[in-house]
Amino acid sequence: MNPDSFFPFLIYIAAVLILVVGMLAASYFLGERQSSKAKEEIYESGVKPTGSARIHFPVHFYLIAMFFVIFDLEAVFLFIWSASLRETGWSGYGFGLIFMTELAILLFYLWKTGALDFGPDGKKILKIYHEKIKTRGNEMVDE
């Protein structure tokens, strides 16, 4: 590889950095800094707010989101692998097979540890969460 072939890439990186720094500086200097109660209030299509927007979601929603991101990215990698299978040959096929085997092992591990069980009688991972909900509910009843 010729070092001169990296010059356009360096120019591109410099232009992006200058653009980002310029946009951040412009928003800092030109942006309004006034704050009032009306600006801090929630406004959604003319409906008055009924409570806090900071509600706590159960942990299994985050687990589902993480599993989705993990397995969705793997699907993208497998698609790219399948598109370049002829160029990579048997070694590419072997590495793809290893990758799919690791994914299957991961899915089996998640299934066996109870990470995919989101019912009220969830196993190991969600057990602590459900116990906290029960104790919180008992505290609310006592008050």
pLDDT tens across 83-133, in order?
Answer: 888 888 888 889 889 988 988 898 888 788 777 776 655 555 556 666 666
Displacement of CA 65 from its chain's centroid (Å): 7
Q: Is 62 helix (H, G, I), strand (E, B) or coil?
A: helix
Domain ranges, ordered by start, for the chain: 59-142
Give the per-residue pLDDT at 51.
Answer: 66
pLDDT digits (tens, 9 = 90+) for 47-95: 676 666 666 766 667 777 888 888 888 888 888 888 888 888 888 889 8
Residue 74 vs residue 20, higher pLDDT: 20
Provide the pLDDT for residue 16.
97
**pTM for the structure as a whole:** 0.43
DSSP assignment of 64-127:
HHHHHHHHHHHHHHHHHHHHTHHHHHHHHHHHHHHHHHHHHHHHHHHHHHTTT--STT--HHHH
CA angle 24–27–28, rounded 5-degree value: 85
